[in-house]
Amino acid sequence: MSQRRKFLKQGAAAMMSLPLLSFDPKKDWSIDSLKYVANKDDDYWKMVRKQFPLKEGQTYFNNGTMGPTSGYVLDKMFDHMMHWNVEAATVDYKDGSGPELLTGYFPYEELRTKLAKIVNCDFKEISLTQNATFGMNYVGMGLVLKKGDELLNTNQEHGGGFGAWQLLAKRKGCVYKQATMPEPANDPQAIVDAIFKEVTPKTKVIAVPHIISGFGTVMPVKQICAEAKKHGIFTILDGAQCVGHVKVDVKDIGCDAYYSSLHKWLLAPAGSGLLYINKDVVGGIWSTIASYNWDNQDDHGFRLMQNGTGNAGLMAGYDAAVDFFNTIGHDVWIGRIKELGMHLRDGLKEMKHVTIYSSTNEELAAGITTYGVEGMSGPDLQKYLWEKERLQPRSVGAKMLRHSVHIYNSKDEIDRALNLISGLA
């Protein structure tokens, strides 16, 4: 801490920038207080909330778009960036300290190993990317496809989940198709049936979300991948909303590829992405971006992350976010999100003037709930919650509100939202 403060005092520019930040650089953002707590009660979660430099009196319910970064992670990033700007001349990137100065040329085996443990795979099956969209494109552009091959999405994809496949259809003459999802989706088999209704002998790729971004539906991906394997179809899952939100075990799921944006539910800084490709199929995926290790056949994950120079401070923050997650604990973190999501849905189910567009089958639900209130548009409802209680979910389309909950939220905050919505009857 004393070292970081020393660096922050170096130069007028650094000092002038501090008043613009809500982040308090003088606070000790250590996560030691979160360790070794056996009883994860309300007092524990209040302590977790204090780890985030969010404004008091305001409640953030839009984690499905961007997760707030903890003070611990920000501290590690600021420390890294300031230190290595001050000490730039002392670094010789050829002697092994290069990752402290620039990224894009190093395997980051330690961070990839941590991530591999979270999603259950070998670290060499993991690539560090900027976000989910990068992962989708690395796989799509790397596949060997030809004219007439069919690529299957759903009609509920995020733009980062369909772009590459539409591009490949136009560029290579592939056939782009969408399966129509049930809405709301409460029956896993109905989801599987909707997808395989569109499958033909020409289907080469099934690319579907693990969690549907707009509705928060947790898809029956293990069943989808098992059925696809019977037909020899390559499966790639859009996990942008998943890592740090629900359990992700890529080996148990059985997918060929999986990508995620960790700036959402893992609360990593923007620019922190993950791509998994099964070692049994990765040899057939061409590198999309080429640099020194574009043809590395020993570490395919490293081969597919040849991005050139990036922000080394961001990588320090990425690593710190994974440590923050692991300190609280995988099951505790994910269990808390599920608990809060159920609390919100249970309250909404009691209101006759509310329509829940998300799944009400708890096997298909987690921390995102999308709903509407009779007589109000989604944007008007978002504005109402903000103006009344400074609560900030996100409107989706004309009639819906997408309400995300995370570990920094409380049941009291959710109850305040429920009370306002109840009053609109």
Q: What is the pLDDT of residues 78-97, one digit of tens each?
A: 999 998 888 888 887 777 77
CB atoms near residue 331 (< 10 Å)? 9
Domains in the chain, number: 2
Q: What is the DSSP string of 290-301?
A: -STTTT-SS-HH
CA–CA separation, 373 and 388 (whole Å): 16
On whether residue 76 sits in a domain, the answer given is no
Reported as a single tens digit per residue, the pLDDT across 262-284 is: 999 999 999 999 999 999 999 99
Q: How far apart are CA 20 and CA 199, in angstroms?
A: 54
Question: What residues contact residue 193 under an 8 Å CB cut-off, 6+ apart?
Answer: none
Arithmetic mean of pLDDT, 150-170: 92
Is the residue at 71 inside a domain? no
Residue 318, in any domain of the structure: yes
DSSP state of 58: -
The percentage of residues in the chain with a pLDDT greater than 70, rounded to a whole number, is 93
**Nearest partner of 66 among 402, 415, 410, 390, judged by Cα:** 402
**112 with 195, same domain?**
yes
Are residues 256 and 389 located together in one domain of the fold?
Answer: no
What does each C-alpha distance from 142 to 208, 277, 303 come to in angstroms? 18, 11, 12
Whether 368 maps to a domain, the answer reads yes
pLDDT exceeds cutoff 80 at 30? no
Parent domain of 53: 41-61+329-423
Residue 20 predicted with pLDDT over 50:
no
- Taking residues 335-360, report their average pLDDT: 96
Last residue of a domain, one of 326, 350, 384: 326
Same domain, 153 and 302: yes
Does residue 97 belong to any structural domain of this protein? Answer: no
Question: Cβ(212)–Cβ(219) under 8 Å?
Answer: yes
Spatial distance between the Cα atoms of 61 and 394, rounded to a whole number of angstroms: 7
Share of the chain above pLDDT 90, in %: 80
DSSP assignment of 374-414 equals TT--HHHHHHHHHHHH-EE-EEETTTEEEEE--TT--HHHH
Which DSSP string corresponds to 98-153? GGGT--SSS--HHHHHHHHHHHTS-GGGEEEESSHHHHHHHHHHHS---TT-EEEE
Whole-model pTM? 0.91
pLDDT of residue 37: 74
Do 284 and 161 fall into the same domain?
Answer: yes
Window from 38-47, 173-182, 248-257 with minimum mean pLDDT: 38-47
Residue 107 shares a structural domain with residue 138: yes
Q: For residue 7, tell me if it sits in a domain.
A: no
Q: What's the pLDDT band for 23 if we cut at 50, 70, 90?
A: low
Assess whether 157 and 217 both reside in one domain: yes
